[in-house]
Amino acid sequence: MRVMKLNEVINTTGLSRSSIYAYMSKDNFPKPIQLGPRAVAWIEEEVQGWLMERVSQSR
């Protein structure tokens, strides 16, 4: 399993930080895991799955 920090999630999805957190608040984006007191990361497979779902919805 590989984890992604916020900057990598932004680069991978093309979304802004605020858009990512807005989608998360509506349960429309994978939630991050807590790595430490002030560090979070997203599971790469979950982010990739979210992207693939978006692609299939647009086709």
Best CA proximity match to 15, nearest among 50, 57, 58: 50
DSSP characters over the chain: --EE-HHHHHHHH---HHHHHHHHHTT-SPPPEEEETTEEEEEHHHHHHHHHHHHHHH-
This prediction's pTM? 0.90
pLDDT of 59: 87
**How big is the chain by its Cα radius of gyration, in Å?**
11
Comparing C-alpha atoms, which of 36, 28, 49, 27 is closest to residue 5?
36
Query: pLDDT of 2-59, one tens digit each?
Result: 999 999 999 999 999 999 999 999 999 999 999 999 999 999 999 999 999 999 998 8
